[in-house]
A and B are shown apart, each in its own frame.
Chain A
Amino acid sequence: MRGGDSREILVEMRGITKRFPNVLANDRVDFTLLRGEVHALLGENGAGKTTLMNILYGLYRLDEGEIWIKGRRVNIRSPRDAIRNGIGMVHQQFRLIPTHTVAENVILGLKEAGFYLNYSDINERLREIISFYGWNISPSARVWQLSAGEKQQVELLKALYRKADILILDEPTSVLTPQETTQLFATLRKMAGEGLGIILISHKLDEVMQVSDRVTVMRRGRVVATKPTRETNPNELANLMVGRPLITSFERLNKPSEKPILRVENLRVLDDKGLPAVRGVSFTIRRGEILGIAGVTGNGQQELAETIAGIRKAVSGKIILDDMDVTNKGSMFMIRQGVAYIPAESSKCVAYQMSVAENLVMKSFRYEPFSKSIVIDWNSIKQHAERLIDAFSIVTPSPNTRAGNLSGGNIQRLILARELTGLPGSSAPKLIIATYPTRGLDVAATEFVRRTLIQNRDQGAAILLVSEDLEEIMMLSDRIAVMYRGEIVGVLEQREFDVEVIGMMMTGAKRGEAA
């Protein structure tokens, strides 16, 4: 059903304007959705795409503009109104009650269900939908037993059961494995074939190219283009999205040396609940090399990174940095050895109530020139902060601003600035442990983080990069190790990189089986 413009217009949004304090989130936005199409809404974080869809779903009220649904002008004040107009939305965070069954989650809040819930009828109808789309969930299963992909199917079920024909999905692939993503896209195509209109909010170019019929690109609250997908290409979309060409691949200046910086030998670590999280992991990283750790989140990557950074104890095994055994020496020791740690959650390493300048010296305030005997020299701290704010382009009103007032991207720049500078008098970091360093960042901030890591690599740092973004990990790494249930199932050299193979290995398949 691709192409063709004679189809029914399901949604027409005209001149939508939405103001938040100090921000024009949507500026006279026009958007149309046709029956039977998958329409991608592409843009960076903060471009206004989620705001636009939240207006359509009744979560925000529009300030100006009109919404027409199937030829009728409508006034959508709440999700209830949206549902009545046949709109369903799958949010980034699932809105499900884990202890309830699939059927209970679907039926919740549905007036039409009547007072007595006849579960045999309800389950029967659910099973019809489930088998039509070739899913594998049981209506009476409890939601906590399901995988992320299956939970998403429950969200889709909720919309389908309510007979929605307009479906909004907000960044639906961010929690899925490559295989689950493929399945989701097949489902979306099938839904479009059934005559539904699907809006896919995304910032991933490859997904948009793969699954959509048309794409609307937003930048800074405005629509910059709407095009049929087959008449455009990823480069053009990236330019439209960011307003300038992006660096999508990084040239390597020099080969990694043979000298290993980090050697991990048969490392075993427990998680917070005392269960084995890392089970006998061994690898080495050489000078000027990036080793990517791929895997579905929660397979021990976090614990592995924390143990090398010295903030989690190893049960057994060895961590050798520059020929010195540093196992279980603690974080302070590792910092002094030139180990930088960029954690997954910035909340874990930024004090939101403290100023940008204070956060920037959190590792180094014990040393000259920031401390003179027991007295802290605020002047030199401030100068230091100004230098880093400049070097890392941190957008902040002043060094004295509370860190909590910065945007996500700027907090990440702050962390990079602190971690990658090293202690006064010492050189650049020897080893950088970066876990999910671009999670939640927009395209420009992501590019900055990646470029910074590459620069450090070229200056000779060894980098351990944990990420669930396969595109990122393949772009940056020299080698990729795939982790599954606390073990490394295989290591791939750059020439062997392949999304399918890595995806299979992420679900536990050994290298031979996957290839």
Chain B
Amino acid sequence: MADVAWIESVLSGAVQAGTVYLLASLGEVYAERSGILNLGLEGMMIIGVAVSFIFTNALGHGAALLVTMLVGGLVALILAFMAVSLRLNQIVVGLALTLFGLGLSGFITSAEIRKGILLSLNPNLSEATLVTQQAPKLPNIAIPVLSEIPLIGEPLFNQNILVYVSYILAIVMWFVLFRTRFGLSLRSVGENPAMADAMGVNVYLMRYIATVIGGMLGALAGAYLFIGYQPFWQEGMTQGRGFISLALVILATWSPLRAILGAYLFGGVEVLQFRLQLLGVGAQTPQFLLMLPYLVTIVTLTLLSFEGVKKRIGVPAALATPYSRE
């Protein structure tokens, strides 16, 4: 059963499913590195799905991606305002935003409202477009030469544009975080905001920026989930992927590069359990597979409870702690 084509298609599926997690957790790595825990990630993702659904049908892919990120950034701004400026409990605010996002996405995609938005954006839409639950999927772009590599060429280099964007983002975001002054300031703010402040770093601004980046990428992950992966609208279709991304940030120990591996592990497991079901493997195996990523996350968390490990890896010490200048 395990011929090359099958393996290739599973790997390809792993990358496709994993890109949702990768985009979302890249943003969350920045937010958490700055000390902000964004439990509203699930909400931002589902808003991203809804907005990209509507805007793709009205104005096309490009506009949809732009608007999605803008909206995600705006929702994150709410979180930043509450958590940074008002110093409210980040867990409460985050969960509230998730519930808000689920509600808002359901509201704007309900038949009448959606029709209204679509017509106001583009009065020339056909009747079919006004009622459809789908949208055109982003096309795959095969990269010459690279996509010819056996086994991994097809999975890694014959994907849509957002998958490529996620590769570049992971590398660029790692570089910025660890090799630039901006990144150093951002990490310092999440480690010891009082000290960073004393050294002339604008703590509030850094946290706002990181949170907004997190929100934009969270919404982009939602957009990818829809137009890049499963372009058929269902309410609540993120199915906890935002929360899985939060777990992934821990598994990746707050590193954009390690997030790639974690994302494809999570994505791979998701795809594999589905494929195994199709093959008629006993129902326990897929269930066991689904459990695996969380098991790994729990083991990671346990390891992180050791002081020595914590220091080496650099768990943001001021995570979820509001900062106020005395």
**Partner-B contacts on A (CB < 8 A):** 78-80, 83, 95-100, 104, 107-111, 113-117, 119, 142, 144
**A95–B184 alpha-carbon span in the complex (Å):** 15
A109 touches B179 (CB 8 A): no
Question: Chain B, interface size: which category?
Answer: 20 to 34
A109 touches B311 (CB 8 A): no
**A229–B311 alpha-carbon span in the complex (Å):** 44
Q: Min CB distance, A480 to chain B, in Å? A: 33
A108-B311 in contact given A95-B195, A100-B191 (Cβ < 8 Å)? no
B200 touches A80 (CB 8 A): yes
B179 touches A117 (CB 8 A): yes
B188 touches A116 (CB 8 A): no
- Count of chain A to chain B residue pairs whose CB atoms are closer than 8 Å in the complex: 57
Q: Min CB distance, A3 to chain B, in Å? A: 36
A108-B180 in contact given A79-B198, A95-B195, A144-B311 (Cβ < 8 Å)? no
Q: Min CB distance, B201 to chain A, in Å? A: 5
Q: Min CB distance, B315 to chain A, in Å? A: 8
**Partner-A contacts on B (CB < 8 A):** 179-182, 184-185, 187-188, 191-192, 195-196, 198-201, 311-312, 314, 317
Q: Min CB distance, B298 to chain A, in Å? A: 23
**A98–B312 alpha-carbon span in the complex (Å):** 10
The 10 closest A-B pairs by CB, nearest first: A109-B199, A109-B200, A99-B314, A97-B191, A95-B195, A80-B200, A108-B199, A144-B311, A97-B192, A109-B201
Q: Min CB distance, A441 to chain B, in Å? A: 24
Whose C-beta in chain B lies nearest to the C-beta of A107?
Answer: B184
Chain B residues, Cβ within 8 Å of A100: 184, 187-188, 191
B311 touches A104 (CB 8 A): no
B195 touches A97 (CB 8 A): yes
Which of A78, A99, A114 has most chain B Cβ within 10 Å? A99
- Would you mind naming 13 contact pairs between A and B with Cβ atoms under 8 Å apart? A79-B198, A95-B199, A97-B188, A99-B317, A100-B184, A109-B185, A111-B181, A111-B200, A114-B181, A117-B180, A117-B181, A119-B179, A142-B312
Chain B residues, Cβ within 8 Å of A80: 200
Q: Min CB distance, A88 to chain B, in Å? A: 12
**A97-B195, A104-B188, A107-B184 given; 13 more Cβ-contact pairs under 8 Å:** A79-B198, A79-B200, A83-B200, A99-B314, A100-B188, A108-B185, A108-B188, A108-B199, A114-B181, A115-B181, A116-B180, A117-B181, A119-B179
Q: Min CB distance, B180 to chain A, in Å? A: 5
B188 touches A96 (CB 8 A): no
Q: Min CB distance, B324 to chain A, in Å? A: 17
Chain A residues, Cβ within 8 Å of B184: 100, 104, 107-108, 117
**A117–B179 alpha-carbon span in the complex (Å):** 6
Whose C-beta in chain B lies nearest to the C-beta of A158?
Answer: B199
Chain A residues, Cβ within 8 Å of B181: 107, 110-111, 113-117
**A96–B198 alpha-carbon span in the complex (Å):** 11
Chain B residues, Cβ within 8 Å of A111: 181, 200
**A144–B317 alpha-carbon span in the complex (Å):** 13
Whose C-beta in chain B lies nearest to the C-beta of A109?
Answer: B199
Whose C-beta in chain A lies nearest to the C-beta of B200?
Answer: A109
Q: Min CB distance, B260 to chain A, in Å? A: 23
Chain B residues, Cβ within 8 Å of A83: 200
Chain A residues, Cβ within 8 Å of B191: 97, 99-100
Whose C-beta in chain B lies nearest to the C-beta of A59?
Answer: B198
A99 touches B311 (CB 8 A): yes
Whose C-beta in chain B lies nearest to the C-beta of A96?
Answer: B195
**A97–B185 alpha-carbon span in the complex (Å):** 11
Q: Min CB distance, B72 to chain A, in Å? A: 26
Q: Min CB distance, A289 to chain B, in Å? A: 40
A98-B188 in contact given A109-B200, A114-B181 (Cβ < 8 Å)? no
A115-B182 in contact given A97-B195, A108-B188, A144-B311 (Cβ < 8 Å)? yes
Chain A residues, Cβ within 8 Å of B201: 108-109
Q: Min CB distance, A509 to chain B, in Å? A: 28
Whose C-beta in chain B lies nearest to the C-beta of A119?
Answer: B179
Q: Min CB distance, A121 to chain B, in Å? A: 13
Q: Min CB distance, A154 to chain B, in Å? A: 13
Chain A residues, Cβ within 8 Å of B187: 100
Chain B residues, Cβ within 8 Å of A116: 179-181
B196 touches A108 (CB 8 A): yes
Chain B residues, Cβ within 8 Å of A79: 198-200
Chain B residues, Cβ within 8 Å of A144: 311
Chain A residues, Cβ within 8 Å of B314: 99
Q: Min CB distance, B205 to chain A, in Å? A: 13
**A288–B179 alpha-carbon span in the complex (Å):** 63
Q: Min CB distance, A324 to chain B, in Å? A: 40
Q: Min CB distance, A156 to chain B, in Å? A: 15
Chain A residues, Cβ within 8 Å of B199: 79, 95, 108-109
Chain B residues, Cβ within 8 Å of A117: 179-181, 184
**A97–B190 alpha-carbon span in the complex (Å):** 10
B198 touches A95 (CB 8 A): yes
Chain B residues, Cβ within 8 Å of A95: 195, 198-199
Whose C-beta in chain B lies nearest to the C-beta of A94?
Answer: B195
